[in-house]
Chain A
Amino acid sequence: MVLSYTMPAFVIERDLSRCISCQVCVRQCANDVHVYDIEDDCVHSQDAQCVGCHRCVTLCPTHALSVQRNPLAFRAHANWSDQALRNIYRQAESGGMLLTGMGCDQPYRIYWDHMLLNASQVTNPSIDPMREPMELTTYLGAKPERVAFSDGRVETEVAPQLRLDVPIMFSAMSYGSISFNACESLARASREAGTFYNTGEGGLHPALYQYGANTIAQVASGRFGVHLEYLNAVAALEIKIGQGAKPGIGGHLPGEKVTPDISATRMIPVGTDALSPAPHHDIYSIEDLRQLIYALKEATGYAKPVSVKVAAVHNIAPIASGIVRAGADIVAIDGLRGGTGAAPTQVRNNVGIPIELALAAVDQRLRDEGIRHRASLVVAGSIRSSADVIKAIALGADAVYVATSALVAMGCHLCQNCYTGKCNWGIATQDPYLTKRLNSDLGAQRLTNLLRAWSLEIKEMMGGMGLNAIESLRGHRDHLRGVGLNQVELDTLGIRAAGQ
């Protein structure tokens, strides 16, 4: 089509009194937005190609650049938003499905922001974490029915557990969807902080086997890179059934991202599309799931916990119950706002339920059925701060998975164009010019700093509530109160309204 009806989403403002034509912006933009004009010795910008990732703005040595949303892009109103109009123009031009990256960006209610934490006053003492020890250590895995002692020693055999120094893990992002340097940053930070990262479904690069003790290896529907050595190199396994950003559909890593290294790691030919089927072709029931769980346990000598990851959907409570009964040691639930490297826009924005409601429903259901102890509960889907972590644990989670927060810590600016493979921050790309931009030493340092900062804040808030161990907070919903929620929402979350 000759004329596009879409208009630039962003406007680039270049302060000519500051621009020195050093061309750092020209070199840093993979979308070719900035072009140096040698005749006039100045830099021009093509607004239409800008994705708003702010790489140029961040690196400009004179702060001459700013990127703004295009204020009057379309004749939008409350019903026909900019985005709705843009999507139709784009589809009318391309005839294709709209793709996007990262988590749902629609204004659904974020329940974390409608829950408030408690603090001790007068009748119970708060604890100063600067003076007294605070315990964040968390063990993930099936807990025994009862503990038997004999001669003062524990007789009960405890199922394999994962020991976390902080109740925060990095969720699944495959080598392929993100760069090797990003994977290495996550692996190194996990070792440094005493937690775990997840390989996603892309297998494990040989150079990352050294971080096996801090690695959770995923087995997904595509079975990419799954072999015995892979399963045995890591601390835990995860069967991925679903992903919060795209419940019910599979994945597709385009062939151009399947470099020789990724091909070897995934065990597929170079340049071929890596297609993850929507379902596991061997799982059509809870019984089938149980078979795979035990196949993995058998393969690894019953020495590692097996997690099952599902997307938060309408009947998540009975689904989770089935997963626990199938023998999973950990149930990971990924909510509506969970991220992705690529998903159809409409699926991402309209399928699934918020993690807060799913978590409350699952925790309650497992308690009601008396099987909560048989599996740990890990939640994901936009945990944005230490406050979200602590609220999730108070609602009943054992630990949380973070991915978007981790990517942001490494430089992601949430432009949502991961699927284009042109990530200017060197994260969601395999282009050797771009992957260099993430130095894994710096990436690991930033991630470690983030986990440290969040741990300090969690300890501070726990101390305020008069708690000195994260265990005491788990499922303690009396520490939460709702604001601006209706009775059904309060009942689903299992919390009282503020003031009650």
Chain B
Amino acid sequence: MKRIVIHEEHCIGCRLCEVHCLVQHSSSRDVIKAYRRERALIMPRLIVEESGPLSFALQCRQCDEPSCLEACISGAMHRDERTGAVVCDESRCVGCWMCIMVCPAGAIRQNLLGTHIASKCDLCYGAEEPACVANCPNGALTYEDIPDQEEGAA
């Protein structure tokens, strides 16, 4: 399946990925309205890690055998049949945070702003290119077909 690949050597820490992630997951999909009206309730679904000049945007790694899916007590965390992405069914999530405990990449965060559920990357609902990739000004994120990351790593 297609996965987001991080090129930390090109990340400039501008956090435009955060801006566009938030807009993509807003109801208006308009950058100004999203920040003005919905900022109190929604948050970016990726995390920008920074240490000195090193920085990168971290999203869910879309594991082949996701620990979060196994640990989920309510069945909210599931694999979307259409896109293959691991996503959180917001109507079923109870906010127990087990997924956060087990995520090996630390890519899931608590959304304490409004919904009180787990906030994670959904690859922009099967979009051709996720918003963070499409709007990175320096090519620090790419969207590539990577068949099986566990096998590749082994």
CA distance A121 to B12 in the complex (A): 54
Q: Is the CB of A436 within 8 A of B31?
A: no
User: Quick one: given A61-B31, A436-B138, A439-B138, are A22 and B53 in contact (CB under 8 Å)?
Assistant: no
Q: Which A residue sits closest to B137, measured CB to CB?
A: A59
Q: Is the CB of A22 within 8 A of B19?
A: yes
B9 CB within 8 Å of chain A: yes
CA distance A22 to B21 in the complex (A): 12
Q: Which B residue sits closest to A20, measured CB to CB?
A: B35
Q: Is the CB of B53 within 8 A of A433?
A: yes
Q: Is the CB of A439 within 8 A of B139?
A: yes
Q: Is the CB of B53 within 8 A of A28?
A: no
CA distance A62 to B15 in the complex (A): 14
Q: Is the CB of B15 within 8 A of A439?
A: no
Q: Is the CB of A436 within 8 A of B139?
A: no
A441 CB within 8 Å of chain B: yes
B82 CB within 8 Å of chain A: no
Q: Which A residue sits closest to B55, measured CB to CB?
A: A436
When distances are taken between beta carbons in the complex, the residues of chain A under 8 Å from B53 are 432-433, 436
Across the interface, A436 reaches (CB within 8 A) one of B10, B18, B19, B32, namely B10
When distances are taken between beta carbons in the complex, the residues of chain A under 8 Å from B137 are 59
B105 CB within 8 Å of chain A: no
User: Quick one: given A20-B35, A62-B31, A436-B12, are A441 and B139 in contact (CB under 8 Å)?
Assistant: yes
CA distance A442 to B137 in the complex (A): 10
Question: What mask results when residues 35 to 70 of chain A are scored 1 for a CB within 8 Å of chain B, else 0?
Answer: 000000000000000000000000101100000000
Size of B's binding interface in residues, CB under 8 A: 23
User: Quick one: given A27-B14, A436-B9, are A22 and B35 in contact (CB under 8 Å)?
Assistant: yes
Measured CB to CB, the closest approach of chain A to B56, in angstroms, equals 11
B11 CB within 8 Å of chain A: yes
CA distance A436 to B15 in the complex (A): 14
When distances are taken between beta carbons in the complex, the residues of chain A under 8 Å from B10 are 436, 439
Q: Which B residue sits closest to A25, measured CB to CB?
A: B14
A contact face: mostly helix, strand, loop, or mixed:
loop
Q: How many A-B residue pairs have CB under 8 A?
A: 54
B3 CB within 8 Å of chain A: no
When distances are taken between beta carbons in the complex, the residues of chain B under 8 Å from A18 are 32
Q: Is the CB of A23 within 8 A of B35?
A: no
Q: Which A residue sits closest to B9, measured CB to CB?
A: A436
Q: Is the CB of A20 within 8 A of B11?
A: no
CA distance A432 to B50 in the complex (A): 13
User: Quick one: given A20-B36, A61-B19, are A28 and B14 in contact (CB under 8 Å)?
Assistant: yes
Q: Tell me the chain B residues, 1-44 only, with Cβ under 8 Å from chain A.
A: 9-16, 18-20, 31-32, 35-36, 39
CA distance A43 to B20 in the complex (A): 19
User: Quick one: given A18-B32, A20-B32, A436-B11, are A61 and B139 in contact (CB under 8 Å)?
Assistant: no
Measured CB to CB, the closest approach of chain A to B149, in angstroms, equals 23
Across the interface, A59 reaches (CB within 8 A) one of B14, B18, B32, B35, namely B14
Q: Is the CB of A61 within 8 A of B20?
A: yes
User: Quick one: given A433-B53, A436-B11, A439-B139, are A24 and B16 in contact (CB under 8 Å)?
Assistant: yes
Measured CB to CB, the closest approach of chain B to A403, in angstroms, equals 23
CA distance A348 to B19 in the complex (A): 43
User: Quick one: given A61-B20, A62-B31, are A24 and B139 in contact (CB under 8 Å)?
Assistant: no
CA distance A23 to B137 in the complex (A): 15
Q: Is the CB of B12 within 8 A of A437?
A: yes
Q: Is the CB of B138 within 8 A of A24?
A: no
Measured CB to CB, the closest approach of chain A to B118, in angstroms, equals 24
| Residue of A18, A20, A433, A441 with most chain B CB atoms under a 10 A cut-off | A20
Q: Tell me the chain A residues, 425-446 only, with Cβ under 8 Å from chain B.
A: 426, 432-433, 436-437, 439, 441-442
User: Quick one: given A18-B32, A432-B53, are A59 and B138 in contact (CB under 8 Å)?
Assistant: no
CA distance A432 to B52 in the complex (A): 9
Q: Is the CB of B139 within 8 A of A62?
A: no
Q: Tell me the chain A residues, 7-35 only, with Cβ under 8 Å from chain B.
A: 17-18, 20-24, 27-28
Q: Is the CB of A59 within 8 A of B16?
A: yes
Q: Is the CB of B20 within 8 A of A442?
A: no
When distances are taken between beta carbons in the complex, the residues of chain B under 8 Å from A17 are 32
CA distance A439 to B141 in the complex (A): 12
Q: Which B residue sits closest to A436, measured CB to CB?
A: B12
Measured CB to CB, the closest approach of chain B to A115, in angstroms, equals 38
When distances are taken between beta carbons in the complex, the residues of chain A under 8 Å from B16 are 22, 24, 59, 61
CA distance A442 to B9 in the complex (A): 13
When distances are taken between beta carbons in the complex, the residues of chain A under 8 Å from B14 are 24, 27-28, 59
CA distance A426 to B9 in the complex (A): 13
When distances are taken between beta carbons in the complex, the residues of chain A under 8 Å from B12 are 28, 426, 436-437
When distances are taken between beta carbons in the complex, the residues of chain A under 8 Å from B139 are 439, 441-442
When distances are taken between beta carbons in the complex, the residues of chain A under 8 Å from B32 are 17-18, 20, 62
- 6 closest pairs, A vs B, by CB? A20-B35, A432-B53, A439-B10, A433-B53, A439-B138, A439-B139
Chain B residues within CB distance 8 Å of chain A: 9-16, 18-20, 31-32, 35-36, 39, 52-53, 135, 137-140
User: Please, could you name 18 A-B residue pairs with CB atoms under 8 Å apart, sorted by A?
Assistant: A20-B19, A20-B32, A22-B19, A22-B35, A24-B14, A24-B15, A27-B15, A59-B16, A59-B137, A61-B19, A62-B31, A62-B32, A426-B12, A436-B10, A436-B53, A437-B138, A439-B138, A439-B140
Chain A residues within CB distance 8 Å of chain B: 17-18, 20-24, 27-28, 59, 61-62, 426, 432-433, 436-437, 439, 441-442
